[in-house]
Structure formats: structure tokens, C-alpha cells
A = this chain, B = another copy of it.
Amino acid sequence: MAPVLHTVPMTFANVGSLGTKPGHRDTVVSILLRPMPGLKEAGCLLYEVGVNDEAPDTVFVCELWESPAAHKSSLQLDSVRAAIAEAMPMLSGEMGGNQFTVLGSPLR
């Protein structure tokens, strides 16, 4: 039997946390919640931003992309570069998270 070839890009997940300097979490959230023109066209399928009050200086993100390359290329979008530049001074440098290839869902 011939091997199965992936003829469509594999969905790529990027889930993580961004540490913020004390008191700056909500400002960073507000920057990430502004519409980022071009994001969907770049292959972004989902981009959720949130918080957990047990971690008051952390912003959480959960992103799905059409491919790893789509995620990488989005970092060149003007809207994304502007958001990163604006948020950067408020970040602590503590970053966490995981990247993985989505294989499917029990919902489908």
C-alpha cells in the first residue's frame, strides 16, 4: 500500500503565555484584542486572548494556523509588527507554551 501523503497543510497550534510587567497585563490584552488586518488572510484560523486572575501578570494566547509557515509569515504583517512593538516594553520576558501539529478532534 502506498504511503499516505499529506496533500494539504497541517494545522499548526501555538498556545502560550506572555509574562507582563506588574500592572500592564490589561494594556497588553487590549493591544492584542485590536483587529489585526491581514491576520486571517495570512492563514490564521483562530486567535484567542485571555487571562486567569490566579496569574495576574500573564496574558494567555491560543492560536491555530493553516501551517507553521503561515504563523511565521504573519510576524511580518504591519499590524502584527506594530502590536509587538507596542507591547514589548510591557513584557517581562517570561514566555511559556507549546507548538504542535493538530491531528484532529473528537468533535469532528
Interface residues of A (CB under 8 A from B): 11, 13, 15, 17, 29, 32-36, 39-40, 44, 46-52, 55, 60, 62, 64, 79, 83, 96, 98-108
Contacts and interface: CB of A to CB of B under 8 A. Distances in A.
A106 B42 CA distance: 13
A107 B15 contact: no
Contacts of A62: 13, 15, 62, 64, 102
A52 B98 CA distance: 9
A40 B108 CA distance: 10
B98 A47 contact: no
A33 B101 contact: no
Q: Copies per complex?
A: 2
A94 to B, nearest CB: 13
Contact of A13 (B11, B32, B50, B100): B50
B64 A48 contact: yes
